[in-house]
Amino acid sequence: MAQNVFAVGASKNIGYFTSLRLLAAGANITFLLRSTSAFDNDEKMQGYIKSGKAHLVKGDGLVREDVQKAWTAASKHGPIDLLLFTVGGVPSYSLLKGFVITPPNLVTQCLLNTLCTMPQQTDQPKIVALTSMGISHSAHSKVPLALKPIYGYALTEPHKDKLGAERLIAHVSGEPWDSKNWDEPKAEIMGGANWQQHEGLPQPGSLNRILVVRPAMFAGEGCEAEKPKGKRYRVSEGDISGYTITREDVAHFIADAVLNRWDEYEGKRVNVVF
């Protein structure tokens, strides 16, 4: 049976490349887009839109009502099988802070809105959420020496946001938060000191069908996994050392996990790197 997918943050990059793979496999996808013109010049996506497999909903993940509207639209096509959450900001550079995104809790707030407006249905949807390698203390220790300045300075602010997303996921999935290995996100990232009482937030341990994907730093284009002599990415639950990954290869992994290997990856947090 074709999967019914709700995609947040899939207008480009990993979410977009994953969506194309899922659509090619017969999925039905509802996209939440700040601009529904995002696919106007995209021949591949236009084909799926015209065939009624891709559905575009105008809205902003930072606006709770917009996310609720998109969930409702996705539910019109049947129970939702998969939430594909791949929100990421377009960073600017600050000499003092390195790369920064606006707002600084973009990913966390969008994920909070998405989780708090999930519809009630008999079968819990699968959830794939994108964060990043190198956020926990143990993961940071595995970062190659040459990349330490990038992870320790340039990516500090975006990683605070990804840390917030990890904290949310740990809460709703009931995963213990190891304060020795993970910092506690600041209140402003979480939307307030009492974020656990946010209206609609699923109860601790109530969502257990979550796959968290933590990619390495992005570099290069194309899908190496599909090239005869291309690099082969590595997937590890444990902290792993490595330099880069392409967005297309992360999408290759996510689509494969969703379509072919969900029983293997459900409930896991994995790092993806060449």
How confident is the model at residue 93, as a pLDDT? 84
- Collect the ranges in the chain with pLDDT lower than 50: none
What distances in angstroms separate CA 95 from CA 54, 92, 149, one per listed residue? 41, 10, 14
What predicted TM-score, i.e. pTM, was given to this entire model?
0.97
Report the distance separating Cα 139 and Cα 272, nearest Å: 12
Cβ proximity of 14 and 254 under 8 Å: yes
The model's pLDDT over 182-214, given as tens digits with 9 standing for 90+, comes to 999 999 999 999 999 999 999 999 999 999 999
CA-based max dimension of the chain: 51
pLDDT of 199: 96
pLDDT of residue 222: 96
Would you state the pLDDT for residue 259? 97
**Dist CA 264 CA 109 (whole Å):** 29
pLDDT digits (tens, 9 = 90+) for 85-121: 999 988 888 887 888 899 999 999 999 999 999 999 9
Vertex 195 angle, CA 131 and 189, to 5°: 45
